[in-house]
Amino acid sequence: MPDVLIKGADYTVENIAGAKEVLANGGEVKTISLVDGYSSTAIINKIKAQNEVKAER
C-alpha cells in the first residue's frame, strides 16, 4: 500500500482508483497540475519503442 498516491489534476480524489484504501491506511492522495507536452503514456511508449529496437538487434 503506497504512502502517497498521485494523479494528474484531470482526476478528482473521489475518482482515483485506490484512493479510499490509501486514505484509510493513513496515506495521502494528491493531484498535481498537468504540464503541456509531458505525458506518462508518452514516456512509457518511448521506452517500449526503444526496447523493441534493442530486441531486433
pLDDT of 40 reads 86
> Grid coordinates in use for 35?
504540464
User: Which of 1-10, 11-20, 32-41 shows the lowest per-residue confidence on average (mean pLDDT)?
Assistant: 32-41
Tens digit of each residue's pLDDT (9 = 90 or more) over 20-49: 999 999 999 999 999 988 888 899 999 999
pTM above 0.75, yes or no: no
pLDDT for res 2:
95
pLDDT, position 54: 77
What pLDDT is stored for residue 44 in this prediction? 94
For the CA atoms of 52, 53, 55, 57, the dihedral, rounded to the nearest 10 degrees, stands at: 160
Predicted pLDDT at 56: 80
Report d(CA 16, CA 10) in Å as an integer: 10
